[in-house]
Amino acid sequence: MKYLKIIGNKKLEGEINISGAKNAALPLLASTILAKNRIKIGNLPDVVDINTLLKLLEKLGSSYTKDKNTIHIETSTINNTKATYDIVKTMRASILVLGPLLARFGHCEVSLPGGCAIGQRPVDLHLKALEQMGAKIEIKSGYIQATCKDGLKGAKIVFDKVTVGGTENIIMAASLATGTTTIINAAKEPEIVQLCEVLEDAGVDIKGVGTSKLIIQGSDKKLLEFKDFNIIPDRIEAGTYMCAAAITNSKLTITNIIPLHLEAIISKLEEMNFEIIQEENSLTIMPTKDIKPVNIVTSEYPGFPTDMQAQFMALATQANGTSTIDERLFENRFMHVSELLRLGADIHLNGNIATINGTPSKLNGTDVMATDLRASSALVLAALVAQGETDIHRIYHLDRGYENLEKKLSEIGVDIQRHNE
């Protein structure tokens, strides 16, 4: 087991280059199951979740060669349709192989997923939608057993609530189905837009990309000819490093980004009195004399992302005044609060609302424990301004979603080291 030691209270300077988006790469890798050709994918982040999904695809019979952040993947050789518990238990996104496997082979078994313990994220919406497309689904011994003897059929799918994974699964399934599938109340995240664009380039007719209504014309089980592509930049990684600049009140440039994807994050930082200078593919955060408090309500894209509320909570501890965060998407996503309290933060919880009484320079280093991916990054941010040393344990959570975290932080002036427990 590894832990991070951070010595806080240092100014940052320089620039950070953002890696490819984990949350875009995962469905895109799953979508290669629909391909008949070998595909080259660039800007692939080297993080644990990606390597876990590649291991699963390999177990299903695909092969790949990887060189740094570029991969060549061949899935036409897949000969196994069982996604086993030993891999799926570590990462919820493994459920994304369900739609493409079922659409291509007419049957598959996928273990019920694991992943971060941030609250209930049931897959019932995925399963109900696939049943509407003609699949027969049973849950046996912890596995989803899905069959559709005559292939999936186009259908009208109305999601009761917005589901990113469910939207992705049905987009992929619909791409090989017979007939037209309409998805109502589809998620609109940039990662979903890229999935649609890659499938469009592979010949799938998709109308309404980027809106809540998608109309997909299926290929009638014909495998697709994919074109090579690059993964979009990771907006959550970018947002995390923007918060690193803000919490230390430092000037920092973030490169390899799409500013449009960061509008909700930029808006909240501007509310907190930070000037942000935007370029076409980068932005620079300027220090401020007075960090103002902020009120945040998480919601689906293009609203404020739930994946950024933990980082903003850490930032709010340094504001002059009281901030609130209303978490609307997950019921168990404040597990980092108890660890921030250990560092000296003043935070009160009332159901899904956190109240943060900010006092600049109040935090003190101590031992803290990461509980999930984004909570981990909040603890790193808090450690940047804590007096003395902070040791962050269970950092395998961080490795799931941040590429070269220590290297990137070291290069802008953070005193950070990884040690064995």
The residues carrying an active-site annotation are: 116
Question: How many angstroms separate the Cα of 95 from the Cα of each of 34, 154, 333?
Answer: 15, 21, 21
Contact 283, 310 (CB under 8 A): no
186: left (phi over 0), alpha (psi -120 to 50) or beta: beta
3-class DSSP assignment, residue 380: helix
- CB half-sphere exposure, 282, CA atoms < 13 A: 10
Give CA 334 to chain center in angstroms: 17
Contact 261, 268 (CB under 8 A): no
Contact 347, 354 (CB under 8 A): yes
Question: How many angstroms separate the Cα of 16 from the Cα of each of 12, 231, 395?
Answer: 11, 18, 21
The single-letter code of the amino acid at 398 is: L
Give CA 119 to chain center in angstroms: 15
How many other β-carbons are positioned within 10 Å of the β-carbon of residue 2? 14
Query: Both tokens of residue 406?
Result: 């220590």
Beta bridge partner(s), residue 350: 353
Distance CA 374, CA 321 (A): 24
Beta bridge partner(s), residue 213: 184
Residues in the chain: 421
φ/ψ of 133, rounded to 5, equals -90, 5
**C-alpha angle 412-418-421 in degrees, rounded to nearest 5:** 160
The single-letter code of the amino acid at 138 is: E
